[in-house]
Amino acid sequence: MTVCNEQINLEKLKKAEQIILELQAELKNYIAAGSGPFLAAIYDENDHLIAKTANSVVSENCSHNHAEMNAIKAAEKVLNTYDLSAHNLKLYVTAEPCIMCLGGIMWSGIKEVYYGVSSKRVEEITGFDEGFKPDWLNEFARRGIKVYGEIATEAGEKVLHEYVAAGRKVYKPER
Amino acid sequence: MTVCNEQINLEKLKKAEQIILELQAELKNYIAAGSGPFLAAIYDENDHLIAKTANSVVSENCSHNHAEMNAIKAAEKVLNTYDLSAHNLKLYVTAEPCIMCLGGIMWSGIKEVYYGVSSKRVEEITGFDEGFKPDWLNEFARRGIKVYGEIATEAGEKVLHEYVAAGRKVYKPER
């Protein structure tokens, strides 16, 4: 069941379904090449692709390198600014952002967020720790950031199941 | 008034006061050189300095580059791992971490966090947006991450007042 924090716009949702299905399909290739099982893409208001990046925590040895963080960093580099808001950018990602990425999204000036699998289902399927979160959809609404979530979840859950079945790394701090 | 999420340990608190006072004093030089008004340092269990970094959002044009994020990234590079937990590291920072940095700290495996000025006071003094946060001290306790906060706040607030008085940039997404 799709969740969203504005009056639902079916055109936006349809476009997001298409993009997230494409990301889920591509994600399999990223995983085969050593990435973590999450992929993010940032598009501008004219639907031009600005950045597309997978999770690279293990491959680049940095715990910050979630797909969303990598995509924002890449977009800020391409557009040469720490404030993306003037570009009216949309972030599409294969799973719900964690607490770190929620902050990263807020501070970047991204205007719209579309995600696939919920954190709850990611945790259930993979064993990844997605952390604690406040009621972020309402907090984002208050800040004018639109969110649509749980989009094309069947395809997304299938990729995560395959990641686990292939014995790929479910990294987390050992504590 | 100091806050903490374990039975208070006065030896840890005394050491943290000394380190945070040093950071607040050094921070003035970082600000003069173009950094944002926040400085973080990571020490190992033998009190060896592993990383010390200021906020570089404006100077490096990346909204992720909070002092804590920069310090964790630097520590992971120095120690060549995305999981710092085996090193029993302590993060000291001149102000309370934002929601992005809370996530960044959790995923890094940092074991102890000591901070100066609260987010509330940072917002009141500077106008920076520190975002929304859940009850993170209890969440961190549950994950075994010790937190001591609001340490040496008088010195910290003075640095922030000076930052504002000097007309330095209080950056945030324009929306």
Interface ipTM:
0.95
**Beta carbons of B82 and A106 less than 8 Å apart:** no
Characterize the bridge pairing of strands B146-149 and B112-117. parallel
- What residues form DSSP beta bridges with B159? none
Size of chain B, expressed as the number of residues it contains: 175
- CA neighbor of A94 nearest in space, from A14, A44, A151: A151
**Beta carbons of A63 and B85 less than 8 Å apart:** no
Angle at the Cα of A61 from the Cα atoms of A55 and A67, rounded to 5 degrees: 15
Over residues A130-136, mean pLDDT = 89
In this model, does residue A25 exceed pLDDT 90? Answer: yes
CB < 8 Å to B132, chain A: 134, 136, 139
Which residue among B6, B11, B17, B68 is the active-site one? B68
**Beta carbons of B57 and A82 less than 8 Å apart:** yes
| Residue A29 exposed, middle or buried by CB count within 10 Å (0-12, 13-18, 19+) | exposed
Contacts of A11 (CB under 8 A, 6+ apart): none
Tokens of A125: 């399927």
The amino acid present at A108, given as its one-letter code, is S
Over residues A117-130, mean pLDDT = 95
Residue bearing tokens 């404030």: A83
Nearest by CB to residue B83, choosing from A131, A133, A174, is: A174
Nearest by CB to residue A83, choosing from B82, B84, B174, is: B174
| Mean pLDDT of the residues in chain A | 96
pLDDT of chain B, 175 residues: tens digit per residue: 799 999 999 999 999 999 999 999 999 999 999 999 999 999 999 999 999 999 999 999 999 999 999 999 999 999 999 999 999 999 999 999 999 999 999 999 999 999 999 999 999 999 999 888 889 999 999 999 999 999 999 999 999 999 999 999 898 887 6
**Beta carbons of B103 and A108 less than 8 Å apart:** no
Name the minimum distance, in Å, from the CA of B171 to any CA of chain A: 9
At residue B127, the pLDDT reads: 93
**Beta carbons of B100 and A98 less than 8 Å apart:** no
Name the minimum distance, in Å, from the CA of B109 to any CA of chain A: 5
> DSSP 3-state assignment of A52?
strand
CB < 8 Å to B83, chain A: 63, 171-174
Over residues A25-41, mean pLDDT = 97
In this model, does residue A175 exceed pLDDT 70? Answer: no
What's the pTM value of the predicted model, to 2 decimals? Answer: 0.96
CB < 8 Å to A85, chain B: 173-175
Indicate the pLDDT class of residue A146, thresholds 50, 70 and 90: very high
In this model, does residue A84 exceed pLDDT 80? Answer: yes
Active-site residue flag, B68: yes
